[in-house]
Amino acid sequence: MFSRAFRSTPKSLRPLRTKARQFSSLDLIPDEPSGPSVKTEKVPGPKGVAASKEIDTFQDPRTHVIVPNYEQSSGNYLVDADGNVLLDVFAQISSIALGYNVPALLELAKTDEFAKAAMNRPALGSFPPVQWAEWLKTGLLTVQPKGLDQLITTLCGSSANETAFKCSFMAYRQRERGGPDVPFTKEEMDSCMDNHTPGAPQLSVLSFRSGFHGRLFGSLSATRSKAIHKVDIPAFDWPAAPFPELNYPLEEHVKENEAEEKRCLEEYEKILIESKSTRPVAAVIIEPILSEGGDRHASNNYFRQLRLIAKKHGAFFIVDEVQTGVGATGTFWAHEKWGLKEGEEPDFVTFSKKMQAAGVFHKKETRPNAPYRNYNTWMGDPIRALQAREMLKLIKSHDLVSHTASTGLNLASSFKSLFSSGAAQGKIMNFRGEGDGTYLAWDMASPALRDTFVGKMRNNGVQIGGCGDQTVRLRPMLTFGERHAEVLVGTVERVLKEL
């Protein structure tokens, strides 16, 4: 048991002399704690356990980690039911951009504009508020990926991906049909009501082994992370291509990694070709870093080739930035790094999580040819668009993407130094993500060791997350900086010694 701030600055955390370095989370969150404070022997403590037990009377609590007191949380620090103060580098599964109780956001929430938007929720597709264009043009549309000036808003990442799937299927069939003005046949209109071809076509979405795209029926068919997510659920017979299994650090294994990527690209193209005679691939979906599947990286060239090969075979290309988007990788969108040329942009970029708003950026050519083909009651939520607008303003005015890029470089350097020490030997491997902001990860020797590590980190005041089978992933907020890095690295170091 302890209750103090950790101040063991690793030598390798040398501050970079850049403008972005000057940001401190205290600029945005003046009352952020200076460090964690754990009061109970274990986390969760007795009050957290009791809270989960009460929830158990009506809802499954087996996935609970802690039961937070959000009202007392601040910035990068999450307070739990027992009053423990934890540095949170998991951030609600990577969905908090700036921190808890950021004063500027609480101010927004108290405005008349926000309150009225919250309590007068529109059916956006038919009754959009008179401020809708302004809210998006000064908000979400300011971060539209290059070449994608159309935006369909949704409520979550899964439905953003499924919306991109639907748009892809409609545009694919429209192309086959001969254009937007060629009418549907009576046979198509009749057969689709029975879920049969030709109206419900045998088309597919190609995804990648270990990819995660959501857990609704379409998105789950494209998800290939873990069997427990999929077993017993009917799925579309859609193809999966291998994702390169690279050796880390990437820069030390260039040659064999190139060969692995080449092998995977060939296999991918083979599937695209072979599918044409069975279930043609209307769309390919990929994450820039396979996140839930274990933080798996590939080269920019690999992703460029994926995109070009999809185009060659007439498949739309969807980049799922639900987890990678909004700056954590050191660029606003992770796919910016790929260096796609004009005309090679993705057809769709989906987002959610840290943006709080969710949706699909796309091109006008994939707008369905008739109204009501892409439609539902809410089609997003204006308050999340307002929240995103405010967060984007703060991200820009504080240059938080650059800040995260440089924080990430320093953090990677600290971890590399720590992980090359004796304390990490045989326990930690495949450290990765250097150059991708704070989107860092490493594997541990076994799934059990990973779980033990994550539990001990929590007991030592740091909420950290896992992914894949035995990976630890960092997903801090964009306000995470040097003072949090010190705590994080110091705690990892201490816990490694305990293992």
Half-sphere exposure (Cβ direction) of 424: Cα atoms closer than 13 Å: 18
Residues 137-156 that bind a copy of itself (CB under 8 A): 137, 141, 149-152, 155-156
Which residue type does 305 have?
Q
Closest by CA to 254, choosing from 298, 291, 294, is 298
Least distance from C-beta 469 to a copy of itself, angstroms? 13
Residues 376-395 that bind a copy of itself (CB under 8 A): 376-378, 383, 387
DSSP 243-304: PP---SSGGG-HHHHHHHHHHHHHHHHHHHHHHTTSS-EEEEEE-SSBTTTT-B---HHHHH
Residue 277 binds to a copy of itself (criterion: CB under 8 A): no
Which residue lies nearer to a copy of itself by CB, 136 or 424? 136
Exposure string over 161-199, b if 16+ CB within 10 A, otherwise e: bbbbbbbbbbbbbbeeeeeeeeeeeeebeebeeeeeeeb
293 with 399: CB under 8 angstroms? no
Residue 483 binds to a copy of itself (criterion: CB under 8 A): no
Report the distance separating Cα 89 and Cα 159, nearest Å: 26
Given the residues 320, 381, 436, 443, select the one marked as catalytic: 320
Chosen residue from 136, 284, 418, 440 binding a copy of itself by CB under 8 A: 136
Pick the stretch among 35-43, 203-211, 336-344, 443-451 that binds a copy of itself (CB under 8 A): 203-211
Least distance from C-beta 479 to a copy of itself, angstroms? 14
204 with 239: CB under 8 angstroms? yes
Chosen residue from 196, 270, 312, 497 binding a copy of itself by CB under 8 A: 196
197 noted as active-site residue: no
Residue 285 binds to a copy of itself (criterion: CB under 8 A): no
Instruction: Supply 240's token pair.
Output: 């999966």
Closest by CA to 27, choosing from 88, 79, 90, 75, is 75
Q: Which residues contact 88 (CB under 8 A, 6 or more apart)?
A: 76, 77, 78, 96, 100, 463, 476, 477
Judged by CB under 8 A, the number of residues near a copy of itself is 128
Residues 72-131 that bind a copy of itself (CB under 8 A): 73, 78, 80-81, 92-93, 95-96, 100-102, 105-106, 108-110, 112-123, 125-130
Report the distance separating Cα 101 and Cα 77, nearest Å: 10
Least distance from C-beta 421 to a copy of itself, angstroms? 32
Chosen residue from 32, 38, 166, 436 binding a copy of itself by CB under 8 A: 166
Binding mask 20-59 for a copy of itself (x = CB under 8 A): ---------------------------x---xx-xx-xxx
Least distance from C-beta 435 to a copy of itself, angstroms? 26
CA distances from 339 to 249, 286, 294, 310, 316 (A): 21, 16, 24, 16, 18
Beta pairing class for 441-444 and 240-241: unpaired
Least distance from C-beta 397 to a copy of itself, angstroms? 18
377 noted as active-site residue: yes
212 noted as active-site residue: yes
Pick the stretch among 334-342, 374-382, 412-420, 436-444 that binds a copy of itself (CB under 8 A): 374-382
The secondary element (H helix, E strand) that includes residue 483 is helix 482-498
Given the residues 166, 353, 354, 456, select the one marked as catalytic: 353
Number of residues that make up the chain: 499
Pick the stretch among 182-190, 309-317, 404-412, 415-423 that binds a copy of itself (CB under 8 A): 182-190
Alpha carbon of residue 395 to chain centroid: 17
Residue 215 binds to a copy of itself (criterion: CB under 8 A): yes
Residues 396-415 that bind a copy of itself (CB under 8 A): none
Residue 499 binds to a copy of itself (criterion: CB under 8 A): no
Given the residues 137, 377, 396, 469, select the one marked as catalytic: 377
Least distance from C-beta 348 to a copy of itself, angstroms? 14
Which residue lies nearer to a copy of itself by CB, 80 or 434? 80
31 noted as active-site residue: no
Residue 438 binds to a copy of itself (criterion: CB under 8 A): no
Chosen residue from 30, 46, 339, 371 binding a copy of itself by CB under 8 A: 371
Which residue type does 340 have?
L
Instruction: Supply 72's token pair.
Output: 């007392």
Closest by CA to 206, choosing from 227, 236, 226, 185, is 236
Least distance from C-beta 132 to a copy of itself, angstroms? 6
Q: What are phi and psi of 129, to 5 degrees?
A: -65, 150
Residue 255 binds to a copy of itself (criterion: CB under 8 A): no
Residue 182 binds to a copy of itself (criterion: CB under 8 A): no
Pick the stretch among 26-34, 310-318, 365-373, 404-412 that binds a copy of itself (CB under 8 A): 365-373
Residue 170 binds to a copy of itself (criterion: CB under 8 A): yes
Residue 281 binds to a copy of itself (criterion: CB under 8 A): no
Residue 356 binds to a copy of itself (criterion: CB under 8 A): yes
Given the residues 212, 243, 332, 453, select the one marked as catalytic: 212
Pick the stretch among 1-9, 201-209, 305-313, 450-458 that binds a copy of itself (CB under 8 A): 201-209
442 three-state secondary structure? strand
CA distances from 82 to 78, 86, 381 (A): 11, 11, 33
The secondary element (H helix, E strand) that includes residue 441 is strand 441-444
- Active-site amino acid positions: 212, 320, 353, 377
